[in-house]
Structure 1
Amino acid sequence: MAAVPRWRERLFGLYFLSHIPVTLLVDLPLLLPDGLRPRGLTELLEWYTATFRDPLMLQPPAWFKAFMYCEAVLQLPFFPVAVYAFLKGGCRWIRTPAIIYSTHAATTLFAILAHILFHDFSQSEQLGPRTQRERLTLLSVYVPYLLIPLLILVTMLYHPHYNHVEKRKRK
């Protein structure tokens, strides 16, 4: 049976490893009331939203906050497990949790990318990409969080290492 290329497992492991501080320092503070958010994190958020014109992070709509709650409750506990499995390499038991994670992440990213691509930000005073270049710049921030989960999904579904079904011995 073919082994998964180590570069791919390392990519997945590093993706999940990098996702831990991003989730803790950028995404989850959005769920805190303004007065409870540490000043440094507020300044980081302000810099990010001004640089990338990301309206979702400055004034997150309810649907986006729902995604952040899912990230906090469902995804964040999975990240260290995935880091271990992929950096150790060859762990077949990660298949089902990785499929669940990757389909959930891809689904949420489709909604986010559609909002960035199709929402008319020019009709409001709120922050948002106004030009095609600004939209593409903002998309470049989010697209890796779609592409890597899709690569994880394809790997888990179709690579012989993870897709191998072991035959049980009959008693």
Structure 2
Amino acid sequence: MAAGPRWRERLFALYFLSHIPVTLLIDLQALLPAGLHPQGLTELLQWYVTTFRDPLMLQPPEWFKAFIYCEAFLQLPFFPVAGYAFLKGGCRWIRTPAIIYSTHVATTLFAILAHVLFHDFSKSEHLGPQTLRERLILLSVYVPYLVIPLLILFTMLHSPHYSHVEKRKRK
């Protein structure tokens, strides 16, 4: 395989494989009852929420919980599969699942980013970002989870390496 897509494949593999512990140890805390997690993980989540002023993780609205359910039951099983495919390289079969995954994630991230940017946190959540600077800091946490799936989508759609169309020999 050419060196061109290899750096992207390594980035994609790191993205998917690093997502496994983040999902299991942090994100799923928003769905499970309090006290079910080890104290250290609860403290880590509390530190994150306080540091980045992210009320979505501590007091998730129902629409956000729906996204986490999708992450738990649809995305989490896909993470090791995608991690393997991109680590191995040259796996054209990952194209369609990666397009589905990246489109879904980009759509959910647009909703999350809009909420962070435009929701009036002062009326309902004391933990939310109150200033533009705090909103931008919180956005910096979420934006990579939009940018990398968009890069995956772009790569799957436009890279000849992942094209299913075989070049025909001219006679």
TM-score by length of 1: 0.93
Identity of aligned residues (%): 84
1:79–1:111 Cα change, 3 Å: same
TM-superposed CA distance for 1:3, in Å, is: 6.6
TM-fit CA distance, 1:42: 1.0
* DSSP 3-state at the match of 1:157: helix
Report the count of equivalent residues. Answer: 168
SS at match of 1:130: coil
Deviations 1:65-115 (A, max 9, x none): 111110010000000001110011111000000001000110110000000
Partners of 1:15 and 1:141 in 2: how far apart? 14
What is aligned with 2:15? 15
Deviations along 1:35-76, whole A, 9 cap, x unmatched? 322211111111000000001011001111111110010000
The amino acid of 2:78's aligned partner reads F
Aligned to 1:97: 97
Q: Which has the higher contact order (CA 8 A, sep 6+)?
A: 1
CA distance in 1, matches of 2:30, 2:37: 8
Poorly superposed stretches of 4+, deviation over 3 Å: 1-4
Alignment RMSD (CA, Å): 1.7
Secondary structure in 2 matching 1:36: coil
- 1:45 equivalent to 2:45? Answer yes
Letter in 1 for 2:20: I
Report the CA distance between 1:147 and its aligned residue: 0.3
Once residues 139 and 24 of structure 1 are traced to their aligned partners in structure 2, the CA distance between those partners, rounded to angstroms, is: 22
- Equivalents in 2 of 1:154, 1:23: separation in Å? 24
Counterpart amino acid of residue 20 in structure 1: I
Measured after TM superposition, the shift of residue 123 of structure 1 is 2.3
1:70/1:125 CA distance change after superposition, 3 Å = closer
Q: Which residue of 2 aligns with 1:111?
A: 111
Q: What aligned pairs does 1:1-171 form with structure 2 within 5 A after superposition?
A: 4-166=4-166
Q: Distance in 2 between matches of 1:4 and 1:23?
A: 30
Contact 2:55 2:125 in 1 (8 A): no
Counterpart AA for 2:158: Y
TM-score, normalisation: structure 2: 0.93
Give 1:2 shift.
6.2
Offset of residue 5 of structure 1: 2.1
Structure 1 spans left out of the alignment, 5+ residues: none
Gaps of 5+ in 2: none
Partners of 2:84 and 2:49 lie apart in 1 by 32
Q: Distance in 2 between matches of 1:156 and 1:3?
A: 16
8 Å CA contact retained: 1:3, 1:90: no
